[in-house]
């Protein structure tokens, strides 16, 4: 007698939840009054947002001269922050689209917040190129619209225009994908609401009734949008990297930038998702839906992409040496040993060394260690963008034009203010919609076989032990029977 026992998989939902329990737990944040913690975080975020608006008005009124940009360093904190925010927005589409196509069930605990994070991050990113134009009221000229003068059509050879199309497309598809996933959950909130609130949610869910035809079309739409969004994950940050790679400046003009930027974007995006979800997990009491298993799976992705980023750093150094091109060699020598050495070694520690801690399972499953490293990684990814931009521009071919860039309070205020915008939007989102996708969580509540996530784990272990015992007894009986026959 023999039996094959599949390994026990860690439940994706803990606490032996019923469908009703899931509905109650995940709609609670939209129905109850916000806590003191939420109000404190909201007031801090709004204060930072107001300061950003003040700094933007100051910039428009007095001009870009209020920043510390000069003829040598034409890009400073603004483009650094632009690339950083675009990178953060990548994880949402990756978790939602690619993991959906690969049928990864662990994505259901974090995909909703990741999608929202994508939209808010792209909103923050879009501010910087527009402000950097200086004459912000002329931003309409970057769009290809017919005009009577004929000379204002954009230069389609410019990577900066490619950014406009790539990011606007990415933002549009991300919003559609995010909102499509919200429709069934808005209907769930509507069914529990009364009065005006019920009417508002009925409008938001387009009168969803949960009919079989609705579910069929919803699933088809989700797959179509996932298929459209998947190439965008690779294309958007590839096009952002072309801002640098298509130039002739040593340190930028390199073909490794597209895959290197994409890996870095996923790396930083997953880190920011973890930062947000670990806070939401604690404040909104979602420990049973965002489990240690979810955290460990995301840490594995961070470990993989962090290793890719580290290989890219070493490849850059090798190619600069192997090329024999003195200006390329000087660009990388200046990054490591020049006046910005602190940012280079900060980047190396945060992005190459710190993710290696995730080789250890205890650290991958440690909430506090994961939260700390997620912040460290995002600091490191900001350093990376700063190193690429500032150190490359600060010392060019002409030593007489060398300079050292230090941001002004206006630049710092705008960046800090975008953090306020980001967290303000996210906090409002937690009050309007469930942070975890109700419909998708219910879809994995019961899965065939040993993956029944609501199973009594102790009972399951007992069943496994019984199978093993029966298997060993069967083998012992067969051995005795064989010995008797041989005698």
How many whole angstroms separate alpha carbon 263 and alpha carbon 445?
A: 32
Q: Supply the range of the domain harboring residue 229.
A: 19-141+155-457
Residue 451 has pLDDT above 50, yes or no: no
286 assigned to some structural domain:
yes
pLDDT at 450: 38
- Tens of pLDDT along 350-403? 999 999 999 998 998 888 999 999 999 999 999 998 988 888 888 877 787 788
pLDDT at 467: 46
**Residue 472: band (very low, low, confident or very high) from pLDDT cuts 50, 70, 90:** low
347 assigned to some structural domain:
yes
Higher pLDDT, residue 463 or 263: 263
Helix (H, G, I), strand (E, B) or coil at 447: coil
CATH number at residue 292: 1.20.1630.10
CB atoms within 10 A of CB 245: 18
- Tens of pLDDT along 137-172? 777 777 766 666 665 566 677 777 888 888 888 888
Residue 404 has pLDDT above 80, yes or no: yes
Lowest mean pLDDT among 106-110, 275-279, 352-356: 106-110
**Burial of residue 423 (number of CB atoms within 10 Å: 0-12, 13-18, 19+):** buried
Residue 343 has pLDDT above 70, yes or no: yes
Residue 419 tokens, joined: 């953090």
How many whole angstroms separate alpha carbon 335 and alpha carbon 328?
A: 11
- CA neighbours within 13 Å on the CB side: how many for 101? 13
470 assigned to some structural domain:
no
Q: Any idea which residue has 């490293």 for tokens?
A: 373
236 assigned to some structural domain:
yes
477 assigned to some structural domain:
no
Query: What average pLDDT does the segment 422-446 reach?
Result: 85
Residue 360 tokens, joined: 């250890």
- Label each residue of 450-472 as H, E or C: HHCCCCCHHHHHHHHHHHHHHHH
87 assigned to some structural domain:
yes
pLDDT at 455: 42
- Tens of pLDDT along 63-99? 888 888 877 777 878 888 988 998 888 777 777 777 7
Give how many domains the chain has, as a whole number.
Answer: 1
Residue 112 tokens, joined: 């909703």
25 assigned to some structural domain:
yes
Residue 105 has pLDDT above 90, yes or no: no
Query: What average pLDDT does the segment 296-304 reach?
Result: 90
Comparing CA positions, the residue from 314, 177, 309 lying closest to residue 233 is 177
CB atoms within 10 A of CB 187: 21
């Amino acid at each position: 007698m023999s039996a094959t026992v599949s390994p026990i998989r860690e439940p994706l939902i803990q606490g032996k939840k019923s469908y009703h329990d899931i509905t109650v737990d995940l709609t609670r944040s939209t129905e109850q009054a916000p806590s003191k913690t939420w109000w404190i975080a909201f007031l801090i975020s709004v204060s930072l947002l107001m300061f950003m608006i003040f700094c933007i008005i100051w910039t428009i009124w007095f001009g870009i001269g209020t920043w510390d940009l000069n003829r040598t360093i034409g890009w400073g904190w603004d483009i650094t922050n632009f690339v950083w925010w675009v990178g953060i927005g990548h994880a949402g589409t990756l978790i939602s689209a690619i993991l959906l196509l690969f049928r990864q069930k662990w994505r259901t605990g974090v995909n909703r917040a990741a999608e929202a994070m994508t939209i808010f991050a792209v909103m923050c990113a879009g501010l910087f190129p527009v402000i950097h134009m200086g004459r912000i009221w002329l931003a309409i000229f970057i769009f290809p619209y017919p005009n009577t003068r004929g000379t204002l059509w954009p230069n389609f050879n410019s990577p900066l225009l490619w950014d406009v199309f790539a990011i606007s497309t990415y933002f549009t598809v991300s919003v559609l994908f995010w909102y499509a996933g919200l429709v069934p959950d808005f209907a769930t909130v509507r069914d529990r609401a009364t009065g005006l609130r019920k009417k508002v949610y009925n409008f938001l869910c387009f009168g969803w009734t949960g009919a079989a035809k609705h579910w069929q079309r919803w699933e088809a739409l989700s797959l179509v949008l996932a298929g459209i969004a998947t190439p965008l994950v690779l294309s958007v940050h590839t096009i952002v990297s072309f801002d640098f790679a298509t130039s002739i400046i040593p340190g930028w003009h390199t073909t490794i930038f597209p895959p290197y930027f994409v890996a870095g974007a996923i790396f930083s995006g997953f880190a920011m998702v973890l930062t947000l979800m670990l806070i939401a997990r604690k404040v909104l009491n979602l420990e049973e839906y965002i489990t240690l298993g979810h955290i460990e799976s995301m840490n594995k992705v961070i470990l993989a992409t962090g290793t890719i980023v580290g290989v890219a750093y070493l490849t850059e150094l090798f190619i600069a040496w192997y090329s024999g091109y003195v200006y390329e060699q000087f660009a990388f020598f200046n990054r490591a040993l020049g006046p910005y050495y602190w940012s280079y070694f900060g980047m190396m520690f945060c992005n190459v060394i710190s993710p290696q801690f995730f080789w250890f399972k205890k650290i991958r499953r440690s909430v506090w260690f994961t939260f700390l490293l997620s912040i460290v990684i995002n600091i490191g990814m900001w350093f990376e963008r700063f190193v690429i931009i500032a150190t490359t521009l600060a010392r060019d071919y002409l030593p007489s034009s060398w300079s050292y860039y230090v941001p002004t309070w206006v630049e710092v205020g705008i960046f800090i203010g975008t953090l306020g915008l980001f967290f303000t939007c996210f906090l409002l989102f937690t009050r309007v919609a469930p942070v975890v996708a109700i419909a998708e969580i219910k879809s994995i509540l019961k899965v065939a076989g040993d993956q029944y996530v609501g199973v009594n784990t102790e009972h399951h272990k007992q069943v496994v032990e019984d199978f093993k015992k029966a298997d060993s007894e069967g083998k012992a009986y067969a051995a005795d029977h064989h010995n008797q026959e041989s005698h």
